[in-house]
A = this chain, B = another copy of it.
Amino acid sequence: MKKYNVGIIGYGWVATAHIDAINKSDTAQVTAIFSSRELDEGKLSSEWGSSIHTFTDLDQMLEDESLDIVSVCSYPNQHKEHAIKIARAGKHLILEKPLALSWEDCKEIETAINEAGVKTCVCFECRFSNQFKVTKSIIDQGLIGELHYGEIDYYHGIGPWYGQYRWNIKKETGGSSLLSAGCHALDALLLCMDDDVVEVTSYETKSRNAIFKPYEYNATSVTILKFRNGAIGKCASSIDCLQPYYFHTHLCGSEGSLLDNKFHSMKLNTNKDNWSELAIKMLDSGDVSDHPYQDQFETFFNSISENIDMPLTSLSLAMKTFEVVFAADKSATEGKFITL
C-alpha cells in the first residue's frame, strides 16, 4: 500500500513529536521539512528513519507533488498564513493548536480549507488519549447517567524550564492561558458535556511569583459555560501554578460521578462511600505507553483513504471549541457574559 507523504512546517519540539508519531504509523511518512533555519538532511533522515528533504522556502516545498499532507508546527501567529497556503496548494492539513490567535483568523482558515476541499486534523489529541477514551466510554455506557455539571481543568506551570516559555510568555505568540495550553481541557469538557454552549463567562488572574512576571497576559483563568440543555461546565486553566501537572476532571450525572480516574455508578451498585478506580493511562501521569498523537494521525490517514471527515478532531469540530475559547478570553477581558 502506498504511504502518504507528509511535510512539516517548523522544526521545534512539537514537530519532533509529529514526526515520531507519523513515522511509527504504517500509513504515512515524513518526507519534507520546512524551517527558516538550514537543517541537515542526512542527519534528519537517519534520525527519523525516512528520507527527508528540507526546505527554507515554503512555496517550493508546497510545489512538491509527492506531498499529500502538511503539518503546521510553526509559531501560533504563523498558523493562519501557513494553513491557507497549504490549503490552496491542495494538500491535506494537520494543524497544531491553537488553530490561530483570533476567531477571525480561524474563520479565514476555515474558508480557505472549505474552498480547497482538503481534509483536516486539528491537534486536540487528548480526544485520542486513553484517559478520554475511557471517560467517554463511561458516559456512553450510561454508567454515570446524564451530566448536569462538569469541570475539566488544566494546571501545569510553564516556566523557564520549558523551551516554549521563551515565546509563550508573549501576548503575540502565546495568546492567553487557554490558547497556550488550557484549550485541551476546554475541548475535553466539550467532548464530555456533548451539547452546544450558549453562554460563556471568564475571569483572569496571575501568579505573584517573579518567575511568571514576564507573562504579558494573565496566565490563570477560569471559565463557566452554560449549555443549551441547562447543564453547566467549568474550565480552569493555570500555566503559572507551581505543582504537579494536573488535568483535573469532575463530571456529575444523574447516575453517578467521575473524578479523574475514579467513579461511582448507581448502575453498578458500587459503594457510594468510596470511589471505584479505573485503570487509565492518565494524561498527567507521563505514561509513555499511551500514544494519543499516533492514534490521532492514523485515524486521520485512514479517514483520508476512506474519504470521510476526520472523527473527533476535524476542523469543524475544533472550530466549536475555539469559538468558546475566544468567547471566554473576550469575556475575561471585557468583563461581561458572552452569548453564543
Given A149-B241, A255-B209, A275-B244, A203-B226 contact (CB < 8 Å): yes
CA distance A208 to B147 in the complex (A): 8
Say yes or no for A125: interface residue by CB 8 A criterion. Answer: no
- Considering only residues 185-225 of chain A, those with a C-beta below 8 Å from chain B are 201, 203-209, 220, 222, 224
CA distance A337 to B209 in the complex (A): 29
CA distance A280 to B275 in the complex (A): 9
Q: Is the CB of B279 within 8 A of A270?
A: yes
Q: Is the CB of B279 within 8 A of A146?
A: no
Interface centre among A145, A149, A203, A231 (most CB of B within 10 A): A149
Say yes or no for A148: interface residue by CB 8 A criterion. Answer: yes
Interface centre among A134, A241, A335 (most CB of B within 10 A): A241
Given A257-B241, A259-B246, A278-B270 contact (CB < 8 Å): yes
Q: Is the CB of B145 within 8 A of A143?
A: no
Name the residue on B nearest A227 (C-beta). B205
Q: Is the CB of B274 within 8 A of A220?
A: no
- Considering only residues 253-267 of chain A, those with a C-beta below 8 Å from chain B are 253-257, 259, 264, 266-267
Q: Is the CB of B208 within 8 A of A222?
A: no
Q: Is the CB of B208 within 8 A of A130?
A: no
Say yes or no for A51: interface residue by CB 8 A criterion. Answer: no
Stretch from A104-112, A232-240, A314-322 contacting the other chain: A232-240
A155: contacting residue among B226, B252, B281, CB under 8 A = B252
Say yes or no for A230: interface residue by CB 8 A criterion. Answer: yes
Name the B residues within 8 Å of A280 (CB-CB).
Answer: 270-271
Q: Is the CB of B137 within 8 A of A269?
A: yes
Name the residue on B nearest A149 (C-beta). B220
A224: contacting residue among B149, B222, B240, B254, CB under 8 A = B222
Q: Is the CB of A145 within 8 A of B259?
A: no
Write the A312-333 contact mask toward B (1 if CB under 8 angstroms, else 0): 0000000000000000000000
Given A252-B155, A279-B270, A143-B141 contact (CB < 8 Å): yes
Say yes or no for A3: interface residue by CB 8 A criterion. Answer: no
Write the A142-163 contact mask toward B (1 if CB under 8 angstroms, else 0): 0101101101000100000000
Q: Is the CB of A243 within 8 A of B264?
A: yes
Q: Is the CB of A267 within 8 A of B232?
A: no
Name the B residues within 8 Å of A146 (CB-CB).
Answer: 208
Given A208-B148, A232-B203, A256-B243, A279-B271 contact (CB < 8 Å): yes
A151: contacting residue among B236, B240, B268, CB under 8 A = B236
Q: Is the CB of A130 within 8 A of B271?
A: yes
Say yes or no for A304: interface residue by CB 8 A criterion. Answer: no
Say yes or no for A242: interface residue by CB 8 A criterion. Answer: yes
Query: Would you mind naming 10 contact pairs between A and B with Cβ atoms under 8 Å apart?
Result: A138-B268, A148-B206, A148-B220, A201-B203, A208-B253, A222-B232, A242-B255, A243-B259, A270-B280, A274-B279
Q: Which 10 A-B pairs have the closest CB atoms?
A: A243-B257, A274-B279, A209-B254, A208-B254, A271-B279, A133-B269, A241-B252, A205-B232, A277-B277, A146-B208
